[in-house]
Structure 1
Amino acid sequence: SRTRTGCLTCREEGYKCDEQRPYCGRCVRLEKVCKGYGLVLKWQACKTPRSLNNTPPAAGNDDISLGSATPHHQQDTEAVLAVNPSYIPPDIDPETRRLLHHWTVTLAAVVSMAPTSNQNPFLVHLTPMLFRSAALRFAISAMAASHLAVLHADGSMETTASRHRLRAVSSLRQTIQTHDPELSLAAILMLQVSDRLFTADNKVNHLSGAKAVITQGGGLAGWAGSSAQFLLGVSFYHDVLSSVSRGTTPLLDLGGSVPSEGLPCMQELASVLGLVGTISRMQGQAPELDRSQAHAVEEALEASIMGTAGDGAGLDDIGHTTRAYRHAAFIYLYRVWLSSGAPHPSTAGHAERCLYHLSHVPITSPLASAHAWPLWTAGCESVDGRARGFVRDRLDAMFSVRHLPSLRRMKDDMEEVWLTKDAQRSLTGMDDVDCVRFILENRQREADLA
Structure 2
Amino acid sequence: MTSSSESPRELSTFDSGLSSISDNRSESRDFDGPSNLLSIVVPKLEERDLVLADVKAEPISEESPISPTEPARRRGRGRPRVHPPKSPISSSKAKARSKTGCTTCRKRKKKCDETRPFCLSCQKNNIHCEGYKPVEIWKSGKERAAEARRASTDMGFDLPPLMEGVENDVDRVLLQHFVSRASCVLSLQGNHSNNPFTKILIPMAMKHEGLMHSVLCLSASHLCSLSPSEEYEERQIFHRGRALHLLNRDLERHRNGEDGGIFYQDYNVAQILLHLLHSICDGNISGEYRMHMIAAKQIAMTQKSKDPEFQSLFDEFFYYHWIASQITSLNSAEIPMMDDFNLPFQVNPETAALIGVSDGLFGFISKISNLRRRIRSRIDNKIEPTMDLEAISQSHAIDSGLRAWVCPIAPGTPRYTISMLYRQATWVYLYRTVKPSRPDPHIKRAVDDAIAYIDKLPAEGWIQSNVLLPLFLIGCAAFEESQRVEVNRAFNGLRACTGLGNIGFAKEVVDRIWELMDRGDPESWDWEKIIHSQGWDFLVT
TM-score, length of structure 2 as denominator length: 0.59
| Deviations 1:374-420 (CA, angstroms, capped at 9, x unpaired) | 11111111122221111111111122222222223323332233223
Task: After superposition, give the CA deviation of every residue in 1:62-117 in whole Å (9 maximum; x if it has no partner).
Answer: 236728xxxxxxxxxxxxxxxxxxxxxxx754443332121112211122122549
**After superposition, where does 1:295-374 map in structure 2 within 5 Å?**
295-304=396-405, 314-336=411-433, 338=434, 340-364=436-460, 366-374=462-470
Secondary structure at 1:63's aligned position in 2? coil
| Distance (Å, rounded) in 2 between the aligned partners of 1:150 and 1:280 | 30
Where 2:405 maps in the other structure, the secondary structure is helix
Contact kept in structure 2, 1:197 and 1:404, CA below 8 Å: yes
Q: AA paired with 1:279?
A: I
Q: Deviations over 1:207-264 (max 9, x none)?
A: 111011223424xxx5661121012111111111012111423557584344389825
For residue 236 of structure 1, what is the aligned residue in structure 2?
A: 319
Contact 1:141 1:161 in 2 (8 A): yes
Aligned to 2:25: none
- Provide closer, same or farther for how the CA distance between residues 198 and 117 of structure 1 changes in structure 2, counting only shifts above 3 A: closer
Using the TM superposition, give the Cα deviation of residue 365 of structure 1 relative to its aligned residue in structure 2, in angstroms. Answer: 5.4
- Are residue 411 (structure 1) and residue 512 (structure 2) matched? no
1:120 to 170, 179, 195: 195
Instruction: Tell me the equivalent position of 2:309.
Output: 226
Q: Which amino acid aligns with 2:531?
A: I
Any idea what the Cα deviations from partners look like across 1:287-306, whole Å, max 9, x if unmatched? 4444333222211101126x
Q: Paired residue for 1:278, among 345, 354, 367? A: 367
Q: CA RMSD in A?
A: 3.2
CA distance in 2, matches of 1:121, 1:370: 15
Indicate how the Cα distance of structure 1 residues 172 and 365 shifts in structure 2: closer, same or farther if over 3 A, else same. closer
Task: Report the counterpart of residue 299 of structure 2 in structure 1.
Answer: 213
> For 1:156-199, what per-residue CA distance to the aligned partner results, in whole angstroms no more than 9, with x for missing partners?
42232133223322222221362753222211111111102213
Contact kept? 2:411, 2:417, Cα under 8 Å: no
TM, length-normalised to structure 1: 0.70
Contact 2:464 2:498 in 1 (8 A): no
Q: Which residue of 1 aligns with 2:268?
A: 184
Percent identity for Structure 1 against Structure 2:
19
Task: Tell me if the contact between 2:214 and 2:243 (Cα under 8 Å) persists in the aligned partners.
Answer: yes
Call closer, same or farther: CA 1:268–1:437 in 2, change over 3 Å: closer
Contact 1:149 1:157 in 2 (8 A): yes
Q: Say if 1:180 and 1:303 are closer, same or farther in 2 by CA, change over 3 A.
A: same
Structure 2 counterpart of 1:195? 279
2:497 is the alignment partner of 1:401: yes
CA distance in 1, matches of 2:355, 2:185: 21
Structure 2 CA distance, aligned partners of 1:398 and 1:267? 17
Identify, as 1 or 2, the structure richer in helix: 1
Contact 1:233 1:258 (C-alpha < 8 Å) held by counterparts: no
| CA distance in structure 1 between the aligned counterparts of 2:500 and 2:422, rounded to whole angstroms | 21
Q: Which residue of 1 aligns with 2:529?
A: 437
**Who is 1:82 aligned against?**
none
Contact 1:121–1:261 at 8 Å: present in 2 too? no
The answer for unaligned runs of 5 or more in structure 2 is 1-155, 255-262, 376-387
Cα distance between partner residues in 2 of 1:191 and 1:360: 32
In 2, Cα distance between equivalents of 1:187 and 1:143 = 10
Contact kept, 8 Å, 2:188 with 2:354, in 1: the verdict is no
- Any conservation in 2 of the 1:340–1:432 contact (CA below 8 Å)? no
Distance 1:374 1:273 in 2: 12
Gaps of 5+ in 1: 1-57, 68-90
Q: Which moved more, 1:117-126 or 1:262-271?
A: 262-271
* Residues 267-292 of structure 1 deviation map (CA, whole Å, 9 limit, x = unaligned): 76631012112222334449444433
Moved more, 398-407 or 115-124: 115-124
Cα separation, partners in 2 of 1:184 and 1:273, compared to 1, 3 Å: same
Q: Distance in 1 between matches of 2:270 and 2:233?
A: 22
Report the Cα distance in structure 2 between the residues aligned to 1:216 and 1:94, rounded to whole angstroms. Answer: 40
Q: Is the 8 A contact 1:217 1:223 kept in 2?
A: no
The CA deviation string for residues 33-75 of structure 1, in whole angstroms up to 9 with x for no partner, is: xxxxxxxxxxxxxxxxxxxxxxxxx9544236728xxxxxxxx
Is contact 1:266-1:318 (8 Å) kept? no
**2: distance between equivalents of 1:223 and 1:344?**
52
Pairs aligned (count): 357
Residue 141 of structure 1 deviates from its aligned partner by 1.2
- Please tell me whether residue 66 in structure 1 is matched to residue 164 in structure 2: yes
Question: Retained in 2: the 8 A contact 1:259–1:266?
Answer: no
**Shift in alpha-carbon separation, 1:261–1:194, aligned structure 2, 3 A:** farther
Counterpart secondary structure, 1:62: coil
Tell me: CA distance 1:250–1:237, structure 2 relative to 1, closer, same or farther (3 Å). Answer: farther
Q: Secondary structure of the equivalent of 1:210? A: helix
